[in-house]
Structure 1
């Protein structure tokens, strides 16, 4: 009898451990990149996260970090299992954090993406881009997070590099910050110019039309693919299936869900995607790396030639991959 009781105890313990393990496996932390303050992001995303819990049965918790790197590292160390990223930060999550793009946001206006902007106060001395680049040493720039697509990567390549004005050396001062902080700094005339994006401007126009009237757009980028959702590749397939079903069906018909999405920066829902959507942004990253190597005076000619050849091979492979899409 004593032996039988021990077996029963062991079996009960194993079952309890299995339940705990199963429950732990159903925990999902959703990381949200820091485009705004944590308080604002929580207000916008919590209704969707509540719906995720109800519809998937998963124990979903929001994870907000003070910068993009916090979400990338969180996914790397499995503190974040699913993340809402920009394209540039999604590249880091895919390459460094075992991530995989599975969906992307849909915009309410029907656009398949959004735009990076350069903005200034409507009353500033800057009326055109020529005014900005005439004497950048007398200009204060509000720049984005290092891993921001619209705040850093796209304007760094399509705007500042095209005008031969490296951000780190060309301006009177550069103040990296969130989109929200940069927007407010422009509205309040605290900085001369700042990078931002069309989604933030649409939100400002809707929620604070008086402040929107204080902003002048000096430059608009080419279209940037919609922000992706990334999950860790090692998530259980059953969990992936629940997440995919939730996101791809969310806000398609339900008025409550549509209202929730409208509150998250003018989105209407989500659609399926993959790592393929990152290819155009990867191309920009490689072009920037190529420019740095070409201008690096510390490299020998042979090292420069070797590194440039390696980058050219990667660019060629990217070009071929995009042509097959």
Structure 2
């Protein structure tokens, strides 16, 4: 009996010792999740030099963590297999809501911008001066909107212009036409519409390629920034580790003896650097998601009126809370 107790105690001690070793090893390494925007081979090739440099700065091994889909990275963070990750805004929102994540930085584009915009333009000599003019005179205007699956051409203006002004884009205007960004810009320039939506990056390309046409368009509304990709860490990381991680990213490619090489590596990633950020950068995406849900519920003919009202009231409450944030 005594021998059995000693054997059991020894086994328990071995298990505890193994757990302690595992914990110590975990403290010596971090896993950096990389969303599957392309093949793992290409992503690893571009990210590995960054992670190697981070390993030196943090004094611990930083490993690349890949999954076949975005959900794999989110779940990896949820179960502690991923301590930090590069996400898109939607996947970052899921990581924050379901995986104990927290936004701490975002990427900066090669030209220094931190995202892009949805815009509304009018002919240069139009009497329209603002989005308020469009809302007030909608019934006599011909309006151009983007593809229903476009974020900047449909979803963003759908919330910031139409939903916030209680305007139904399908019935508010004299006529409404759906087209791509370039077609909308050219339609404005040729006075085929009184106003239309387009993306800022498309306008940049039209300005470079067709400056005469671009000069005939005047922007009367620009959306809040559609934020650049965020970096997210687990909230439960030690504060000292968080500080080292943030310092590394915010200085990468800017200061230090390896700044030139780091800048070249950023170019491969199509970034110019990283900037401090918080969960607040996700609020516009949350609003867009709620607006999408609102549209779906409003169009659902299978819901009874009480259920529909309850769901819509809940969404409107969340939208109001976000607007105050």
Which TM-score band applies after superposition, normalised by the shorter structure?
A: 0.5 to 0.7
> Using a 3 Å threshold, how does the CA distance of structure 1 residues 88 and 156 change in structure 2: closer, same or farther?
farther
Offset from partner CA, 1:224-266 (integer Å, 9 cap, x none): 211110011111222212211211111113101111111112x
How many angstroms apart in 2 are the aligned matches of 1:69 and 1:19?
30
The equivalent residue for 2:273 is 269
Corresponding position of 1:42: 44
User: Which secondary structure state, in structure 2, belongs to the residue aligned with residue 263 of structure 1?
Assistant: helix
For residues 155 and 16 of structure 1, do their structure 2 counterparts lie closer, same or farther at Cα, with a shift above 3 Å needed?
same
What residue in structure 2 maps to residue 280 of structure 1?
284
Tell me if the contact between 2:101 and 2:233 (Cα under 8 Å) persists in the aligned partners: yes
* 2:272 aligned counterpart, secondary structure: strand
User: Offset at 1:153?
Assistant: 5.8
Aligned ranges 1:85-100 → 2 under 5 Å: 85-100=87-102
**1:159 shift after superposition:** 8.7
Residue number in structure 2 paired with 1:58: 60
- Distance between the aligned counterparts of 1:300 and 1:311, measured in 2? 17
Q: For residues 154 and 39 of structure 2, what CA distance do their matches in structure 1 show?
A: 24
Structure 1: gaps (5+ residues): 1-10, 117-129, 137-142, 144-151, 165-196, 203-220
Counterparts in 2 of 1:63 and 1:115: CA distance versus 1, 3 Å: farther
Give yes or no for contact 2:101–2:235 (8 Å, CA) kept in 1.
yes
The corresponding residue for 1:157 is 155
State the alpha-carbon separation in 2 of the partners of residues 16 and 78 from structure 1: 18
- Please list, as runs of the form range in 1=range in 2, the aligned pairs for 1:113-152 lying within 5 A after superposition: 113-114=115-116
Deviation string 1:63-107 (CA, Å, 9 cap, x unpaired) is 122221111111111111101011111101100111000111122
Cα distance in structure 1, aligned partners of 2:304 and 2:315: 17
Aligned pair in 2 of structure 1 residues 249, 79: CA closer, same or farther (>3 Å)?
A: same
How large is the Cα RMSD of the aligned pairs? 3.5
TM-superposed deviation, 1:114: 3.9
CA contact (8 A) 1:102 1:272 kept: yes
Alignment-derived partner of residue 300 in structure 1: 304
Alignment length (residue pairs): 232
Relative to structure 1, the CA distance from residue 18 to residue 67 in structure 2 (aligned partners, 3 Å threshold; closer, same or farther) is closer
Distance across 2 between alignment mates of 1:66 and 1:14: 34
1:61-210 equivalent positions in 2, closer than 5 A? 61-114=63-116, 157-158=155-156
Change (3 A) 1:282 1:160: closer
Aligned position for 2:132: none
Residue 29 of structure 1: SS of its match in structure 2?
strand
C-alpha separation in 2, matches of 1:231 and 1:261:
20
The answer for unaligned runs of 5 or more in structure 2 is 1-12, 119-143, 163-168, 171-199, 206-221
Q: Distance in 2 between matches of 1:296 and 1:154?
A: 24
Question: 1:156: Cα distance to partner?
Answer: 6.8
Q: Is the 8 A contact 1:153 1:285 kept in 2?
A: no
Change (3 A) 1:114 1:49: farther
Given candidates 228, 231, 243, the residue that maps to 1:229 is: 231
2:128 corresponds to: none
Q: Larger Rg: 1 or 2?
A: 2
